[in-house]
Structure 1
Amino acid sequence: GIAEYVQPYYVHHEFYTPNDPQIGSQYHISSVKAYQAWDVQKGDANVTVAIIDSGTDTDHEDFLTQFAYNTGETLDGTDSDGDGYIDNNLGWDFFGDDNNAQMGGSNHGVHVAGCAVAATDNGVGVAGPAFGCSYLPIKAGDGGTIGFGYVGITYAADHGASIINCSWGGAGGGQLGQDIIDYATINKDVLVVAGAGNDNTEDLFYPAGYTYVLNVASTASTDTKSGFSNFGYSIDLCAPGSNIYATDNNSGYTYMSGTSMSSPVAAGCAALVRAEYPFLDAMQAAEQLKVTCDNIYPVNQSIYQDKLGAGRINLFSAVSGITQPSIVMIERNVSDGGDEAFVVDDTLSIDGIFTNYLAPAGSVTATLTAQSSNVQIIDGTTSLGAIAAFGGSADNAADPFTVKILSGATVNEKVTFELELTDGSYNTTIFFQIIVNVDYINIAINDVATSITSKSLTGFNDFSIQLEGLGFIYPYSILGTGTNILFDCGLMVGTTNNVSDNVRTTGGGTDEDFVAVNNVQRLPVPVFSEFDVEGDFNDAGSGTPLGIDIAHKAFAWTETGHRKYVIVEYDITNNSGGTLSAIYAGLYADWDINDYAQNKGGTVQERRLGYIYDTQTDGVWAGMQVVSTSGGFVHNAMFNNATDDPGGTGVYPNTSYDTPDKYESLSTMSMTSGGTGVGKDVCNVVSTGPFTLAAGESVIVAFAIMAGDDLTDITATADSAYIKYNGVPLPCTDLTATTSSTDDDGTANGTATATISGGTAPFTYAWNTSPAQNSETAVGLAEGTYMVTLTDAAGCTITYSVTVGGPIGIGQAGASLVTSIYPNPSEGVVKIVFGDNADNSSCELSLRNLIGQEVMAKQVVPNGEGEVQLSLAALNKGAYFLTVKGETSEQTFKILVQ
């Protein structure tokens, strides 16, 4: 009764404040509560943050004590530690392929590193949230581009990194990137942290958008979303990224903004968490950062609700104890119990596996809601029970959620679902999307799985984003497992000057010529195979349509010997009102098998098969085969990038893939690709033709798309596919030929020979020379590449290309005749510039299209300025070969008319 109240006498003290003189310019240190966190944990040199970026400043005063040196490497010009890199005692420069990670043309990497791991409490410069953790610099690019980011991730994971920061990326993921993230996270226990992107959109940005990556958005000093920052349900958390003061080159300091800054701030915080809790694995450390974030939604606009992840990092809370569960849906299974097309009136069953990464959870209830009124939740609640700590799991397979798709659903509608989990005190919401009322069908009944779309594409319905469709998975398991090996694939149909398609084009986009007339659907009672798909489309989306209608079918089987392919068939009708000539129809495919930079292409002519394979040990093979017999066989094995084929004259779709390129790839044989080393990034076109269709006429073409373990496997699959489609075995497997040629000396006296072996005599020869020749040896040939189609008495056909050399190769200019042709490409007029030795003698000009037809011939005499102007205005757009023949020499040039 004497005391009015009694309470402890608290002794207050200041938070730990390092002696870095410019720390007052770093508001983000306060924002993430780093001062308080440093009272608890000041980092551990055994925890290493790898910065994969544009290089470092090896002499910077705020890095010198932070560098993670490779003590096993002696600087003696050899690979001392046997890791495959010479003298890599401090990171690696993949851009220059040497051991000097010093920055070159961009200071981006220097600033990024300072945001995470600037030396703290060292009496100079600034501080980094990682405090005493180490810094591994990896140079993966220069001058604003990162070309070696993913190989840098692998290097960092293999060289002791605990955290990897990626302040770079772009739209469009891919299986290779996810495989590398999986390797780093699962195999090496490394947490990959990445910026969400600076486009102020909800679009996914990679590598931030990959599974297992900590996806970091940016906030300003007021905790509001930075104006530039991406947002969305894929965001994990936020960190300050606006006006961040950190390191610069030459031991300097500067301000920068971007998710390039918020990501390393988060990476530095993650390093401190891993130092405080060394028993946590990479994903558990990420979840600890997330569940301890501060809620910033009250200060942000409502349009960002639930789209800034868990909030803004609170590092002090993150290192102050593991007190909350963190439950993640690590696997989700969605099924309609049938064709898995998810169309109107289907009822979907949704179940998942839920893993708790942190503290134990009590009895957990899960409740599902949808943001769209076009679906109806039939059963939206399930009980998961108590979930144990640090890896405990539960599932709702026995009590799945059920959802019905209603008639109002739009085509390919992305329905966002919210799944709320609670045990009474712990609450979290998981967001995910399901695409409903799709206009594509997944075929997944055998050892390969793919998607057939309504508008001519195979694999994916959406180029580069790859959310709609399966790609082409091999080996596929009925459990839904397997690896996608296809980036994009689609039908192309073209004449000399016009091609209709929906595949990629120059500039990174796609053509959109084909539009659905009747969406693909699975036949309830199959007619030809065990899984029949059919639909219709036309090329009405083109600005210059061919005027074709296409009935599309696809087939798959489960029986032994027929499990590694699907067949796609196209019944092409000419409804243009006129005749279409020199038509080729084929499939373009960009295969990315394992490491896409180590792929090669080849041809098995007698099986009408073009293939791409992974050159690594036990690599997968993929192939496309012409199984229809209505036309010939062409395989154009291509490099994706011109830089991978120095001096080459082929088609390179990543460099240029407009109409002339596409027709050339449809109509020209190229047997191999990938070079002589471990391979390159390659793609291919397998086509059939040429056809001539009068108005109202049709032709059916069909292709088998397959995968296997080696060449023997896919050739056996090709034999099986052919007999399944045609009912008889391949008749032409023994018809082959060898080719040879003699060079042209400048007077059009080259020869090309095809010598047949096997097959059934008599044989016919069809050379695409002008005029056409039909003997074993074509004569009187100028320098260039010629094609010959060989046919035996049984009707078997194979096509070969033969190159005739000459004194000057195609596209080269010698001083004795022509030095240049410009402009090229041309919109109607080109100028031919003759060399000093041309004098005023008469020259013959011959212009031919891609199938060898001469479309222009004339004699010219260079004027006093050594130039001749040639009008091409009467020609259709496309590619042509111009041959200039003088008295003693001859040259051929490729010209594009736009």
Structure 2
Amino acid sequence: MTRSPLRWTALAALTLLLAGCSTSLPPTTDASTPTSAGNTEVVRIALAADATQDQVATPGTQILAWHPEEGFALVVRPQSSGLSAQGGPKGEANANRFAPPEVQGSSVWAGGRTAWSGGNGSASWQKLTGNLKAASENQVSWKQIDLAGAWSHARKLGEGIKVAVIDTGIDLKHPAFLGNLAPASEWKDFVDGDSTPQEIKGTAYGHGTGVAGVILQIAPKATVLPIRVLRPDGSGDVSTVVQAMDWAMKKGARVINLSLGSDTPSPALNDMLALAASRQIVVVASSGNSGNEKITYPAGNAGIFVPSDYLVSVGSVNARDVKSSFSTYGYSLNLTAPGERIYTAMPDNGAGYWSGTSFAAPMVTGALALALGEGKTTMLTTLLYADGKDIDGVNSYALQSKLGTRLDLAAFLEDAF
């Protein structure tokens, strides 16, 4: 028997955009996600430990996450009365947008491979024929975070650690990922409702591929679990991110990378973040690219709804340890890492440069994979924050407290062991 349902509601079709995007993209529908932002809602239902899915099944209801052992389920169902066509009481239907911080209003992927124009940088595509492991093009960044020193303490290089990349998908046949992907039976595409999370050309084309490429340069023996939640234009739904979080945990991910964000918190995603924390799974989220103090959700949630022990917010610095002009910051920012002109994988067997907090976050994800690969499981984020370096060019303590510390890989790994 289920207990009397205790529920909150939030629109399931709220559009998600990768962290910090300023573009207002229209909601798009597809076969795998709830349709119409005006007529569906995500509902949290309290469950008894012996509850069955038949007890909550009603016409039009889709179960996103089923956790009777934790006492709850998250479902999408037709919207109940009391919500306006614009969404919640204050019209929140169009507020929750997630996309790459790098997908700005004028950003396009020119010619499919030649340039990332607009936004925060440019990228020249070139063919890549081998593994990216610590690409020499990033030698300034590697020296900045002391990657070589870190590897002297982390000989396993992340081996045995599964990292979920919840993003636009990846180029599944890219040579940089050869031998580093989870079994194909674990791949998932929550946009098209299949098991092929392949990137598709659009304004956000290559984002997930680039993120995964950064992780594997830091932890070259880690395993990447690709999960697609964002459409080619960088938009997606709260429901798909909830499902992806659930899927990643069930498939054994130890770290989850969310280089995406929204202006509005989601109670459903809060539940999944809290569940990850309870299982000691660390979620790394980029802070956004607005350049102001409005850190996007979920990065802005660190230490508020979810303990920062298991939710790490990451901003970007340049090669001189100065905050990147685009990097969003604030009191809930935990760490910064290099995020300007980062050389990484691109679709179509290519490589090139990306900029944005989306590419600073996977450096921290890779750092965690290194530590976990050596068997370190406790106090990881505490050490990350404590061993980081203060950011240069900051003249006041008040501002420094809004920037966190800069990732120092070697100091982190040395203290971890």
For Structure 1 versus Structure 2, the TM-score category normalised by the shorter chain is 0.5 to 0.7
Check if 1:315 corresponds to 2:409. yes
1:28 to 141, 157, 167: 141
Aligned partners of 2:324 and 2:263: how far apart in 1? Answer: 20
Aligned partners of 1:200 and 1:24: how far apart in 2? Answer: 26
Aligned partners of 2:207 and 2:132: how far apart in 1? Answer: 26
**Corresponding residue of 2:176:** 62
Cα deviation digits, residues 716-744 of structure 1 (max 9, x gap): xxxxxxxxxxxxxxxxxxxxxxxxxxxxx
Aligned partners of 1:107 and 1:24: how far apart in 2? Answer: 19
Bigger shift: residues 298-307 or 156-165: 298-307
Cα deviation digits, residues 642-697 of structure 1 (max 9, x gap): xxxxxxxxxxxxxxxxxxxxxxxxxxxxxxxxxxxxxxxxxxxxxxxxxxxxxxxx
Please report how far the alpha carbon of residue 29 of structure 1 lies from its aligned counterpart in structure 2 after TM superposition. Answer: 1.9
Aligned partners of 1:285 and 1:206: how far apart in 2? Answer: 22
SS of corresponding position for 1:317 = helix
Aligned partners of 1:228 and 1:314: how far apart in 2? Answer: 21
Check if 1:132 corresponds to 2:221. yes
Q: Give matches, 1:461-476, under 5 Å.
A: none
**Corresponding residue of 2:282:** 191
State the identity %: 30
Please report how far the alpha carbon of residue 196 of structure 1 lies from its aligned counterpart in structure 2 after TM superposition. Answer: 0.6
In structure 2, the CA distance between the partners of 1:321 and 1:25, relative to structure 1 (3 Å rule), is: closer
Please report how far the alpha carbon of residue 19 of structure 1 lies from its aligned counterpart in structure 2 after TM superposition. Answer: 9.0
Please report how far the alpha carbon of residue 20 of structure 1 lies from its aligned counterpart in structure 2 after TM superposition. Answer: 5.0
Aligned partners of 1:226 and 1:55: how far apart in 2? Answer: 26
Letter of the aligned partner of 1:134 in structure 2?
A: T
Aligned partners of 1:19 and 1:181: how far apart in 2? Answer: 31
Check if 1:38 corresponds to 2:137. no
Alpha carbons 1:165, 1:194 under 8 Å: kept: yes
Q: Give matches, 1:621-660, under 5 Å.
A: none
In structure 2, the CA distance between the partners of 1:322 and 1:35, relative to structure 1 (3 Å rule), is: closer
**Corresponding residue of 1:266:** 364
Please report how far the alpha carbon of residue 208 of structure 1 lies from its aligned counterpart in structure 2 after TM superposition. Answer: 0.9
2:400 to 292, 305, 310: 305
SS of corresponding position for 1:160 = coil
> 5+ unaligned residues in a row in structure 2: which ranges?
1-130
Aligned partners of 1:20 and 1:47: how far apart in 2? Answer: 16
In structure 2, the CA distance between the partners of 1:257 and 1:272, relative to structure 1 (3 Å rule), is: same
Please report how far the alpha carbon of residue 27 of structure 1 lies from its aligned counterpart in structure 2 after TM superposition. Answer: 2.7
Aligned partners of 2:328 and 2:362: how far apart in 1? Answer: 16
2:196 to 100, 108, 126: 100
Please report how far the alpha carbon of residue 301 of structure 1 lies from its aligned counterpart in structure 2 after TM superposition. Answer: 4.9
2:208 to 105, 109, 114: 109
Aligned partners of 2:190 and 2:135: how far apart in 1? Answer: 33
Alpha carbon RMSD of aligned pairs, Å? 1.9
Check if 1:52 corresponds to 2:198. no
Task: Normalising by structure 2, report the TM-score.
Answer: 0.62
Alpha carbons 2:383, 2:415 under 8 Å: kept: no
Alpha carbons 1:53, 1:146 under 8 Å: kept: no
Aligned partners of 1:19 and 1:56: how far apart in 2? Answer: 15
User: Which has the greater radius of gyration?
Assistant: 1
Alpha carbons 1:163, 1:191 under 8 Å: kept: yes
Structure that is richer in helix per residue: 2
SS of corresponding position for 2:283 = strand
**Corresponding residue of 2:51:** none
Aligned partners of 1:178 and 1:19: how far apart in 2? Answer: 34
Cα deviation digits, residues 188-235 of structure 1 (max 9, x gap): 321000001111121231111222310001111111000001111100
Please report how far the alpha carbon of residue 266 of structure 1 lies from its aligned counterpart in structure 2 after TM superposition. Answer: 1.0
1:162 to 254, 258, 264: 254
Alpha carbons 1:203, 1:230 under 8 Å: kept: yes
Alpha carbons 1:116, 1:264 under 8 Å: kept: yes
Please report how far the alpha carbon of residue 21 of structure 1 lies from its aligned counterpart in structure 2 after TM superposition. Answer: 8.5
**Corresponding residue of 2:346:** 248
Aligned partners of 1:214 and 1:31: how far apart in 2? Answer: 20
Letter of the aligned partner of 2:369 in structure 1?
A: A
> 5+ unaligned residues in a row in structure 1: which ranges?
1-17, 70-87, 118-127, 324-898
SS of corresponding position for 1:135 = strand
**Corresponding residue of 1:280:** 377
Alpha carbons 1:130, 1:271 under 8 Å: kept: yes
Cα deviation digits, residues 441-480 of structure 1 (max 9, x gap): xxxxxxxxxxxxxxxxxxxxxxxxxxxxxxxxxxxxxxxx
Aligned partners of 1:64 and 1:97: how far apart in 2? Answer: 24
Cα deviation digits, residues 566-617 of structure 1 (max 9, x gap): xxxxxxxxxxxxxxxxxxxxxxxxxxxxxxxxxxxxxxxxxxxxxxxxxxxx
Letter of the aligned partner of 2:275 in structure 1?
A: Y
**Corresponding residue of 1:80:** none
Cα deviation digits, residues 75-121 of structure 1 (max 9, x gap): xxxxxxxxxxxxx514100011101011112211001111112xxxx
**Corresponding residue of 2:266:** 174
In structure 2, the CA distance between the partners of 1:259 and 1:20, relative to structure 1 (3 Å rule), is: closer
Alpha carbons 1:214, 1:236 under 8 Å: kept: yes
Please report how far the alpha carbon of residue 26 of structure 1 lies from its aligned counterpart in structure 2 after TM superposition. Answer: 4.5
Aligned partners of 2:245 and 2:141: how far apart in 1? Answer: 27
Alpha carbons 1:169, 1:197 under 8 Å: kept: yes
In structure 2, the CA distance between the partners of 1:90 and 1:315, relative to structure 1 (3 Å rule), is: same
Check if 1:292 corresponds to 2:383. no
Please report how far the alpha carbon of residue 131 of structure 1 lies from its aligned counterpart in structure 2 after TM superposition. Answer: 2.3
Please report how far the alpha carbon of residue 322 of structure 1 lies from its aligned counterpart in structure 2 after TM superposition. Answer: 4.2
Aligned partners of 1:166 and 1:307: how far apart in 2? Answer: 21
In structure 2, the CA distance between the partners of 1:58 and 1:90, relative to structure 1 (3 Å rule), is: farther
Alpha carbons 2:390, 2:400 under 8 Å: kept: no
SS of corresponding position for 1:253 = strand
**Corresponding residue of 2:316:** 218
**Corresponding residue of 1:205:** 296
**Corresponding residue of 1:599:** none
In structure 2, the CA distance between the partners of 1:108 and 1:21, relative to structure 1 (3 Å rule), is: closer
Letter of the aligned partner of 1:41 in structure 2?
A: A
Alpha carbons 1:224, 1:299 under 8 Å: kept: yes
Aligned partners of 1:162 and 1:20: how far apart in 2? Answer: 21
In structure 2, the CA distance between the partners of 1:36 and 1:189, relative to structure 1 (3 Å rule), is: same
Aligned partners of 2:138 and 2:416: how far apart in 1? Answer: 31
Aligned partners of 1:20 and 1:195: how far apart in 2? Answer: 22
Please report how far the alpha carbon of residue 304 of structure 1 lies from its aligned counterpart in structure 2 after TM superposition. Answer: 2.7
Alpha carbons 1:26, 1:245 under 8 Å: kept: no
Alpha carbons 1:226, 1:242 under 8 Å: kept: yes
Alpha carbons 2:181, 2:224 under 8 Å: kept: yes
